[in-house]
Structure 1
């Protein structure tokens, strides 16, 4: 691949993934609404507001693949989520359609299905049960990607990220954790697979306590290597398990269940 676009490159995930993605393309194009920092060897950087259709059209030109991390990643006011996660994603897909339909890895979220109980193992074809406006925006994104695949043949990987952090830090993450290395390994499979189509992929490492079944996307060849179990003793020593009636212990969305709907000013 000649050029891979990474949106959201100034965020925590973007910064961590930069060096891990370097081998996927000759040039890594970094983009964010904030300054993604000085580009390194074989990198180029652009500041871009995803809500600006013309700017996104220019951003995508010349790219052979896109990893889309950009947008609002927490619960927030609808006006902010709408601009970044709805309008911004639409602009990205329109730009991809105009520039040869490069494959897209769309960073969706477990919050699309946040109201499912932790006792239920999910395959990825269940109806959405979002736990807030952020989760709704990711359900919209998955639907938009599916429409672009059905109507225009735009291939996308819909990666429902669990908890992508340097290491798991609480009891819930023993099930939902995704290591940076496993995310990078997934990205490699997405862009190298002979066919992609538009699968839902659970973004979690090989956690013994995992809730999600990736059998439907096994054809991509992704085999996560890390396991949150390695931190179980440390997490259990740090504090007791949440009470069974707490949202963080009942629902897959965890604390997002308790988030309020943020009011507009």
Structure 2
């Protein structure tokens, strides 16, 4: 695909994948609220995903949208509703009106954050059980994707991203890490697969301590991951220690997103 719109391009995941998606003959149209300095093969758009007119203009002439934009942590309901839910609707609607054929939606493992280890590995067919307003917003985005595929014919792939950082940030991430290179490999598979229809896949590397979620759906797209968090295990344990087997961070897939400090009256 020759021109791809990436929303939230200045965010954590956007910054990691931006250089990894660069290809000869490809233009990345980068959209974010903050100003971006475009390099070779890039275009920059400063706008909000909640701005319908700006999103419609940003979608003109693109082959696909990778929608990363939004609030990436828990927040009060009003902010989640405006940015993550209304903003995602705005992106899908702008893509439809501009005739974009494909949207890759950055969903999250927090859609199923209250699932327990007894249920692992979770699959694309595992019903939502969100752990936060943030998780609810991602479940809503997946539902919008289903609507826009079945009603309007958009190809929509929802990627339930796990823990995407340059390196695993803590012991829990030794099971949930999605390396930046594997993230780019998965996004390339989402862009390249022919006629995917509507899909839900998990974004995770094939970690030695993994198995929490299924990689079958992502591999079916052509995803060929190559990284393993285990190479970072010694450094992670040296920095953070070794957690107890009954540490509450492992009680649910959502980890600390299920903790009481994110209760609504504390936000």
Query: Normalising by structure 1, what TM-score?
Result: 0.94
Q: Which residue of 1 aligns with 2:69?
A: 70
What CA distance in whole angstroms lies between the structure 2 residues aligned with 1:169 and 1:82? 28
What displacement does 1:217 show? Answer: 3.9
What CA distance in whole angstroms lies between the structure 1 residues aligned with 2:18 and 2:99? 24
- What SS class does the counterpart of residue 167 from structure 2 fall into? coil
What CA distance in whole angstroms lies between the structure 1 residues aligned with 2:160 and 2:24? 21
Q: Which residue of 1 aligns with 2:195?
A: 195
What CA distance in whole angstroms lies between the structure 1 residues aligned with 2:24 and 2:187? 8
What CA distance in whole angstroms lies between the structure 1 residues aligned with 2:150 and 2:61? 24
Q: Which residue of 2 aligns with 1:225?
A: 226
What displacement does 1:200 show? Answer: 1.0
Q: Which residue of 2 aligns with 1:209?
A: 209
What CA distance in whole angstroms lies between the structure 1 residues aligned with 2:183 and 2:122? 20
CA deviation profile, 1:219-259 (whole Å, cap 9, x unmatched): 31111100011111222233333344443121111111114
What CA distance in whole angstroms lies between the structure 2 residues aligned with 1:110 and 1:247? 17
Q: Structure 1 residues 141, 118: CA separation in 2 closer, same or farther (over 3 Å shift)?
A: same
- What SS class does the counterpart of residue 21 from structure 2 fall into? helix
Runs of 4 or more off by more than 3 Å in structure 1?
A: 239-246, 261-265
CA contact (8 A) 1:24 1:188 kept: no
What CA distance in whole angstroms lies between the structure 2 residues aligned with 1:25 and 1:248? 44
- What SS class does the counterpart of residue 96 from structure 2 fall into? helix
Q: Which residue of 2 aligns with 1:94?
A: 93
Pick the aligned partner of 1:260 from 251, 259, 262.
262
Structure 2: unaligned runs, 5 residues or longer: none
Count of aligned residue pairs for this structure pair: 264
Q: Does 1:168 align with 2:175?
A: no
CA contact (8 A) 1:93 1:148 kept: yes
What CA distance in whole angstroms lies between the structure 2 residues aligned with 1:212 and 1:110? 9
Structure 1 vs Structure 2 CA RMSD: 1.7
CA contact (8 A) 2:5 2:59 kept: yes
